[in-house]
Amino acid sequence: MSTVPSTYETTRLRDGVVSFGAHAFPHEALGDDTVVIRPDHMGICRADVKEILGSRDVPEDRGPLFGHELVGSVFFAGSRSGFEAGDTVTLNPNITPHRTTGFAEYVFVRGSKEQLEQAVVRVPGPYDGKDVWMPEPFACIVHALRKLLELTGLDSLGGKRVGIVGAGCAGLMFAMYARHLGASVTVFNRGGVRRAFAREQGILAADEIRPLSEAGAYPDAFDVVVVAPTVATAELLETAGRLARDGAVVLVYGGTRKGDRFPGGPVDVDAVRRGELLTWVDHAGKRLGVSGAYGCFKEDYEEGFRLRAEYPEAFPLDRLVSRRIPLDEFPDFVMDIAAGRTDPPGKVLVEAAPRA
Ligand SMILES: NC(=O)c1ccc[n+]([C@@H]2O[C@H](COP(=O)([O-])OP(=O)(O)OC[C@H]3O[C@@H](n4cnc5c(N)ncnc54)[C@H](OP(=O)(O)O)[C@@H]3O)[C@@H](O)[C@H]2O)c1
């Protein structure tokens, strides 16, 4: 372990306001059951913004997500942690609530050896900071489509037509992975900025990305419809229902809250999403499967690393990065996103200050 500083810089989210400053380094936190990570890169996720706005239900077993996408190195590894200082790692925020925000110079993760083994995931191969992409959001996509295959009993999406609502980071990664699994994809996005970004970055071909307003021209067209916008509103679920053919599955991935229902029926989409269930409903004269996925496991990160390493052209995850900002600019920047003053497409990366 390098010398422990007396202070470190971190953000704080309190009452909808993000602040940044130096705080005393908590030497007492360096226990046997703790890993301290020094992030090199952090990703801004829509969930961070929702937590600023207070529009996200925070599960007690995993805690808030604010600052959960990161890649960095282990600065301190407790004697019972199973890690070593210097390991290149990323974080799985779905395991323990005993962790501090990733938008900081140091991140503290505490848990049993088994929990840490799941919560702190080793990044394979050299990581030189040039080819930067965020493993966590991709692991969630890998998890979601693997869960869909498991729930439907399919081996692949070979020959399937997959419609995706939302060309945010999630929608674009769904498109990459569904294509890799053999599907043809059509992504529908409300705004032109993300549609242009997807085309200009070479992530989607022109015929793979359509305005959401054109969704009506695709009735009963898809075997699977993924709902991946910020919030899976009743209106967007209704759109997904229209896009789906009789017998299709609607995969709900975008935000849901306690008590949300699939339009026109009793299905609790929040329970389906968080419980990763598949349930069948009668909707507008069709039989539709409604399924969901939530979070991911270490195995999903490992599959994500394998896919990226073996099929770099199918998974141009670095091209999702639209902008890089230093950590000290992050509070104003994310508050601007929360206030609707800016809404960059793709993934904004926050970079740690260069090491001395
Ligand atoms: N289930 C899971 O495990 C899991 C994991 C991670 C994230 N998520 C969910 O996935 C969501 C999307 O994440 P992301 O990273 O893709 O976010 P993102 O990059 O910020 O993209 C948000 C997308 O939502 C669209 N959108 C927002 N409001 C809309 C509306 N009223 N009508 C139509 N489209 C709308 C945006 O379209 P415009 O371009 O038109 O604004 C954009 O395509 C998150 O909010 C989170 O709830 C789920």
155-184 pLDDT per residue, tens: 999 999 999 999 999 999 999 999 999 999
| Shortest-distance atom of ligand 1 to CA 235 | 32
Is the domain of 115 the same as that of 179? no
Is the domain of 241 the same as that of 258? yes
How is the beta sheet containing 278-283 ordered, strand by strand? Answer: 209-211, 184-189, 161-165, 222-227, 244-252, 286-292, 278-283
Is the domain of 118 the same as that of 146? no
The answer to whether residue 299 sits within a structural domain is no
pLDDT at 128: 72
The model's confidence at residue 1, banded by pLDDT at 50, 70 and 90, is low
The C-alpha atoms of residue 146 and residue 2 are separated, in whole angstroms, by: 40
pLDDT at 130: 77
The C-alpha atoms of residue 48 and residue 90 are separated, in whole angstroms, by: 17
Q: How far is the CA of 254 from the centre of ligand 1 (A)?
A: 6
pLDDT at 62: 76
The answer to whether residue 328 sits within a structural domain is yes
Domain holding 140, by residue range, is 136-292
The answer to whether residue 183 sits within a structural domain is yes
The answer to whether residue 347 sits within a structural domain is yes
pLDDT over 90 at 36, yes or no: yes
Name the phi and psi angles at 228, rounded to 5: -125, 30
The answer to whether residue 159 sits within a structural domain is yes
Instruction: Identify the residue whose C-alpha is closest to ligand 1 atom 18.
Output: 168
The C-alpha atoms of residue 219 and residue 242 are separated, in whole angstroms, by: 5
With b for 16 or more beta-carbon neighbours within 10 A and e for fewer, the 303-335 pattern comes to bbbebbeeeeeebbbbbbbbeebebeebbebbb
Pocket test for ligand 1, best of 52, 199, 212, 230 (most atoms within 8 A of CB): 230
The model's confidence at residue 351, banded by pLDDT at 50, 70 and 90, is very high
Is the domain of 345 the same as that of 329? yes
The C-alpha atoms of residue 44 and residue 105 are separated, in whole angstroms, by: 15
pLDDT over 90 at 208, yes or no: yes
Is the domain of 119 the same as that of 175? no
329 residue type, one letter:
E
The C-alpha atoms of residue 37 and residue 343 are separated, in whole angstroms, by: 29
Q: How far is the CA of 46 from the centre of ligand 1 (A)?
A: 7
CATH number at residue 150: 3.40.50.720
Please state, rounded to an integer, the average pLDDT across all residues of the chain.
95
Where a domain ends, among 275, 292, 309? Answer: 292
User: How many CB atoms lie under 10 A from the CB of residue 263?
Assistant: 18
| Shortest-distance atom of ligand 1 to CA 195 | 39
Is the domain of 275 the same as that of 143? yes
Pocket test for ligand 1, best of 44, 45, 46, 290 (most atoms within 8 A of CB): 46
Alpha carbon of residue 220 to chain centroid: 28
The answer to whether residue 225 sits within a structural domain is yes
The C-alpha atoms of residue 157 and residue 304 are separated, in whole angstroms, by: 17
The number of distinct structural domains making up the chain is 2
- Looking at the chain, which runs of residues are DSSP E strands? 7-14, 17-24, 34-43, 69-77, 88-91, 107-110, 120-122, 161-165, 184-189, 209-211, 222-227, 244-252, 278-283, 286-292, 321-326, 347-351
CA distances to 1, 44, 58, 75, 320 from 348, in Å: 30, 6, 23, 24, 9
The C-alpha atoms of residue 134 and residue 201 are separated, in whole angstroms, by: 17
- The average pLDDT across 35-53 equals 96
**249 and 224 Cβ atoms separated by less than 8 Å:** yes
Is the domain of 191 the same as that of 69? no
CATH number at residue 92: 3.90.180.10
The model's confidence at residue 63, banded by pLDDT at 50, 70 and 90, is confident
Instruction: Identify the residue whose C-alpha is closest to ligand 1 atom 33.
Output: 190
pLDDT over 80 at 2, yes or no: no
Q: Which residues have CB under 6 Å of ligand 1? A: 45-47, 137, 140, 166-171, 189-191, 194, 212, 228-230, 236, 253-255, 293-295
Name the phi and psi angles at 29, rounded to 5: -80, -5
Q: How far is the CA of 117 from the centre of ligand 1 (A)?
A: 29
Residues with Cβ within 8 Å of residue 232, at least 6 apart in sequence = 252, 253, 254, 255, 256, 260, 269, 273
| Shortest-distance atom of ligand 1 to CA 191 | 40
- Looking at 104-213, which runs of residues are DSSP E strands? 107-110, 120-122, 161-165, 184-189, 209-211
| Shortest-distance atom of ligand 1 to CA 194 | 39
Instruction: Identify the residue whose C-alpha is closest to ligand 1 atom 38.
Output: 191
pLDDT at 64: 86
Q: How far is the CA of 45 from the centre of ligand 1 (A)?
A: 9
The answer to whether residue 68 sits within a structural domain is yes
Instruction: Identify the residue whose C-alpha is closest to ligand 1 atom 42.
Output: 168
Q: How far is the CA of 5 from the centre of ligand 1 (A)?
A: 38
DSSP state of 213: G
| Shortest-distance atom of ligand 1 to CA 294 | 3
The model's confidence at residue 131, banded by pLDDT at 50, 70 and 90, is confident
Q: How far is the CA of 253 from the centre of ligand 1 (A)?
A: 9
Write the pLDDT tens digit of every residue in 64-94: 889 999 999 999 999 999 999 999 999 999 9
Is the domain of 33 the same as that of 76? yes
- The average pLDDT across 120-128 equals 87
Residue 67 tokens, joined:
């600052």
Is the domain of 322 the same as that of 252? no
Which residue is it, tokens 């966590």? 136
Q: How far is the CA of 189 from the centre of ligand 1 (A)?
A: 10
Is the domain of 78 the same as that of 217? no
Candidates 151, 150, 146; CA nearest to 178 is: 146
Is the domain of 143 the same as that of 255? yes
The answer to whether residue 221 sits within a structural domain is yes
Is the domain of 17 the same as that of 74? yes
